[in-house]
Every structure is written in C-alpha cells, then in structure tokens.
Chains A and B, each alone.
Chain A
Amino acid sequence: MADTVLLIDKSKSHAEALGTYLERQQAEVLIVSTNDEVLVSIEKTQPDIVIADPYLPDGEIIYILKQMKKTRPLTQIIIISEPEYIDQAMEEFRHDVASYLFRPVKSHALDFALKQAKDRIALEKKLSRYEKEIADLHNAQRLYQQLFDEVPCYITVQDQNFRLTATNKMFKKDFGDEIGSHCFESYKHRTTRCRECPVAATFEDGLPHSTEEIVTSKTGEQYNVITWTAPIRNGLGQITQVMEISTNITQIRQLQDHLTSLGLMLGSMSHGVKGMLTALDGGIYQLESGLNRQDPERIQRAFDQVKQMAERIKKMVLEILYYAKSRELNYQHVDVAEISQDIVKAVRPVAEKYKVRLEVDISQSVGTIEVDANWVQVAIVNILENAIDACISDQDKSEHHVLFKVFLITPERLCYIIQDNGMGMDQETREKMFTLFFSSKGSRGTGLGLFIAHHVIRQHGGAVQVESKPRDGSKFQICLPIHHPTQPLLANATRVA
C-alpha cells in the first residue's frame, strides 16, 4: 500500500517539486502551505509521514504537530528547515521527530529520511503487536497456572526417574513442596518404586493409565486416591514427562465401604464361619455321644470345644455388628486389671499352642477405666492375636515372645504395650494395616481385625502408635483416656466430690 505523505511548506513551488519527487516514488502526497489548513488536512489524510517546515508565515505549527504525535504515535515527522532554525526546532521537538533536513533538501537526504521513517513505522507496529502478544501470553500463562493450582486434585509432573518436576497447590499442601523428590517417597514414603506404576506404563505406551492407591500425607493421614496419567510430549513427539492426576476419593470410599462391606465381609468370612459351624456341630455330636456312652472324658473335651467355638462365633458376630454400626458404645466403669486378665485368657491358648511365650506385666495401680469393655477387649485381643500371628509366621528366630504391659502413662491415660519379636512389617504394611480389608496374611486374614481395633480405640478418644522393623518385630502402644472423652469435666467433678 502506498504511503500517505502530508507536505507542509511555506514555499508552494518548493513543496510541489518535493511532491513530484515523492509521487514518483509511489507516495500519495498532499500539499499544504498555511497554518489554517494543517489541522484539517491531518484529519482528512491520516498521513503516515508528515514532512513539514514548522515555521510558516502565518505562525508556527509546532504545537499542532506535537499534539498529532500524541494521538497518532505511528505517524512519523520529518522536519525541513533553514540551517539557522534547525537547532531551535530540535529543541522544541526533541525525540518526537524522525529526522531533520536542511533546506534546500537534497534527494539522498530525503530518501534516507523517508526510509528511516518507514522503518520506524514498521518497527513500532511490530513492537506494539509483540507487546500485545506478550500480554496475552502472560494472561494465558497465568490462567493455566491458576487452573493447574486450583484443580481440586493432586497434580504432579514426573520425569523418567519418577522425580517430581512440578506439583500443584493441593499437592504441596498435603504432601509437601519438594521438587526433585521421588513420587513414591512423597506419596507412599517408600524407598523404591511401586510395583504397579501407571506413570511407568504411560512412559512405555503413551496411553493414559489409571490405578487406585492408598497414599499417606506428610501429616500421616491416609487417603484413597484414584490416579490417572497422561503423557507430556516434546516438539519431536517423544514423551519426556508424565502428568499424574490423583483425586482424593477417601470419603466416597468410606461410604462405599460401609455400603458394600457387609456382603463382602460375609463372603470373605464365609469359609471361616462354615469351619466354625462344622466344628460346633462336631462338639455337639461328641457331647451327645459322650452323654449316651457315659464317657466323662469325651464330654469334657466336647464341652471345651463347644465353648471355644461359641467364643469364636461370638467374636466374629460382634465384629460384624460393630461394622454394621448397629450398636452404640456402652460406657461402664470397669476394673482394668480384670479386663486385662480376661484379654490374656482369650489369647493364651493360641500362644501356648504355638510356643509363643506371653510375658504379662499388669501394673498394680491401674484402677478403673470408663470404656465399653466389650469393644476394648475385642480391640486389644485383635492386636495381641496379631502379635502372636507375627511370631508364628516368623521363620528366622527359634524363640518367640510377646510382651503385654498395662500401666498408667499419665494419671488420666491408660497405656497398653504389645511388643513381639515376630516377622515385623515394612513401611507399606505399617501404613496400610489399619485400612479395611487390608491383610498381609493372605486367605487367613479377613482384613477386619486391626481395622476394628483401630476404630474402637479412636472412638474411645485413644490413639495407637506403631513401631516396626521387618524381621525384628513390632511394638504397639495403645493409649486410652480413663474417662468418657465427651464428659471429662463432669467425671472429674464427680471424683472430687
């Protein structure tokens, strides 16, 4: 497109000569020679370039040109003037002008000035376009960063070695802000990569993969998450990183667990239940035939078996009832030494059968505690049985023992310590052991025992601490407030009175 040039010159003939020269160079030229015409002609022509002698006979036009530069910053001004006025013009315009030419104007100088003006227009146009693009980019980047941060999921970006290269706000909040650490360290506190890894699968085949995981936050909370991965490719289409998005579905899982678990639990327990019922049948048969034959030894044996089966069935039914939430806690003041002895009585036969030495240390001054004794017994028995199981499963040591210690750790808190020298647990087992249906015992475990134990203790306002080392054994410390946690003041008041 041709450039529009506005020529402002006091000498009409000089202006026309310049005009002809410019038109020959494909410019569209308008010539003005008085102050009055300048304003109107700027409006009318919208010039790209103004070539002007600012000192017209009817007054200078410096102010008009400066105003024009403000409203049309892209229009370039070339000043032509007598050598003696040039300094004055420079003083007035400073950098608003592209170039200054002496009268009479030489063609080389004019060509050069025009070229410079055009370059400047092109440059300024480019600059303003870039400026806008950068602003857009900046906004877009800010928007994406904001989206990345505010998505209500945990997002990580990982390299080939499962190192975190970017994480969003929610991840930082729950799992820490450690760029460069391994995914499995942050999520699972493991020292090696997980066996089933959706990130590794995506690196391999470039497709999204999904898994469900149990992860542990920096404060030790456990979350169920559903994880999806997506590849991040470079310009050549190679996968350089993988993005992993994990949605916290703990609450949904908890709900689902409660809805589906009863059926599931009965299914997984049915084998055990059938075994127990058959053994109960056996006991009854032997009792019956023993009575018929007047065989006291057989009667005694049968009676012991019936009793043992009744205990086991009772325990299982109680667990199911507990899980079905058909029961509120029934707080009562009970003698700690007495319930602790009952607990020992419940597990001693198993310990003796498998030659696990049970060391019992019940402090003299434990007094009474306000709990639902039934449930606390179930909880502690579960943990004790678990300790005995850990000893039975351990092949490394020739001698096994379980310490069961009961004492007041503070005047208000009762403490049980259950320590074994069994097979111990790795960190993953330790972190998952209280979750529903998690069992390290294969078909022998229902995944209910420790879940219920933990739940009962928490429900009583207590806490469980676990220390364990693979092959060395485990130590459980269970602390319970000795008063009903919701009415501690009332309980104290009664005691003082």
Chain B
Amino acid sequence: MGKKILVVDDDPNIVDYLVTLFEDNGYTVFSAENATKGIEIAKKEIPDLITLDIEMPDEWGPRFYRKMTQEKSLKNIPVIVISGLSGIEHAIGKAVAAITKPFDRDKLLKVVKENIL
C-alpha cells in the first residue's frame, strides 16, 4: 500500500483536485473539509503527510495544527500549507513547506516526495 496523505481543505473542488492528483501518483489519500474531521481522520489513519488550507469557515488551519501537535501520535507528521492567502509562510512556523494557490503541480509533487515520512 502506498504512503498516506490527508488533505484538509474546505473547497470541495480543490479537495477533488488534490485527491486525484495524489492518487494518480500512487498515494493513498484521505480528505476532510474541516479541522475537526481532519483530526478525527488523522488519529484513525495516521497519515505520512498532511496538506492544510489556512482559511476555512469554522476553524482556521493554525488551530488544526495546534490540536494536531497536542496528539502524541500526530505531532511529527509533516504538514504542507496550501493556501490562497499571501504571507502564509509564517502562519504555521513548523510547516515543512508553504505553497500558494494556484500552484504548480509538479512542484507540489516534488515537495511531497521530499518530505513524506
């Protein structure tokens, strides 16, 4: 079985895009449309990498990250921030990479490959 990626983003079109893209490249992909569900799935599946949107209606990305790092089993999973906001590189200091929308998919795949556990 391929390595596992969790996509956390509130925009279903983008979730669809990322899921297809990663699946096409041999990863097993899960997705969540908000932070709460994201934590739930992460705890169950223990993914090897997480992509995280910053601006979501209920809970913003940074809170998800804080909750995630409080879980022993999750805190070492690498996180790639994918967001439409500029200046996101500082939103989550410990993220392994920050990518702005719209992104170059080859570059994204390269960053994923380099950072996945």
Q: Which residues of A are interface residues toward B (Cβ below 8 A)?
A: 270-275, 277-283, 285-286, 289, 298, 305, 308-309, 443-444
- Shortest CB distance B99–A (Å): 10
Residue on B nearest A353 in the bound complex, by CB: B12
Q: Are B17 and A286 in contact (CB under 8 A)?
A: yes
Q: Please name the residue on chain B nearest to A293 by beta carbon.
A: B24
B101 engages A275 (CB within 8 Å): yes
B71 on the interface (CB 8 Å rule)?
no
Q: Which of B13, B18, B21 has the most CB of A within 10 A?
A: B13
B61 to chain A minimum Cβ distance, whole angstroms, is 13
A272 to B84, CA, bound (A): 8
Contacts of A444 in B (CB 8 A): 57
Q: B40 an interface residue at 8 Å Cβ cutoff?
A: no
Query: What is the predominant secondary structure among interface residues of chain A facing chain B?
Result: helix
* Closest A residue, CB atoms, query B60: A443
Contact A285 B13 (CB under 8 A): no
Q: Is B17 in contact with A278, judged by CB distance below 8 angstroms?
A: yes
A277 touches B21 (CB 8 A): no
Give the shortest distance, in Å, between A35 (CB) and chain B (any CB): 108
Residues of B within 8 A of A270 (CB): 84, 86
How long is the Cα–Cα vector from A404 to B43 in the complex, in angstroms? 45
CB of B37 closer than 8 Å to a CB of A = no
Contact of A278 among B20, B85, B86, B103 (CB under 8 A): B103
Are A278 and B101 in contact, CB atoms less than 8 angstroms apart? yes
- Chain B interfacial positions (CB closer than 8 Å to A): 11, 13-14, 16-18, 20-21, 24, 55, 57, 84-86, 100-103, 105
Contact among A278, A309, A443 with B55 in the assembled complex (CB-CB below 8 Å): A443
Known contacts being A277-B102, A278-B17, A289-B20, is A271 close to B84, with CB within 8 Å? yes
Contacts A278-B103, A279-B17, A305-B16 known; 15 new A-B pairs at CB < 8 A: A270-B86, A271-B55, A274-B100, A275-B11, A278-B11, A278-B101, A278-B102, A279-B11, A279-B13, A283-B13, A283-B17, A289-B20, A298-B20, A305-B13, A309-B13
CB distance from A409 to the nearest CB of B (A): 38
Q: Judging by beta carbons under 8 Å apart, are A281 and B17 in contact? A: yes
Closest A residue to B24 using CB positions: A289
List 5 A-B pairs, minimum CB-CB distance, nearest first. A282-B17, A274-B84, A279-B13, A278-B101, A277-B102
| B20 touching A274, Cβ below 8 Å | no
CA distance A286 to B100 in the complex (A): 20
Task: Determine if B20 and A271 form an interchain contact, defined as CB atoms under 8 angstroms apart.
Answer: no
Q: Which A residues lie within 8 Å of B85 (CB)?
A: 271
Nearest A-chain residue to B53, judged by Cβ: A275
User: What is the CA–CA distance of A305 and B14 in the complex, to the nearest angstrom?
Assistant: 10
A305 to B13, CA, bound (A): 8
Q: Which residues on B sit within 8 Å (CB–CB) of A277?
A: 101-102
Does B24 contact A278, Cβ atoms closer than 8 Å? no
- State the CA gap A277–B103 with chains docked (Å): 9
For B18, the closest partner residue in chain A by CB is A282
Q: Which residues of A contact B14 (CB under 8 A)?
A: 275, 278-279, 282
Q: How far is A443 from B84 in the complex, measured between Cα atoms in Å?
A: 13
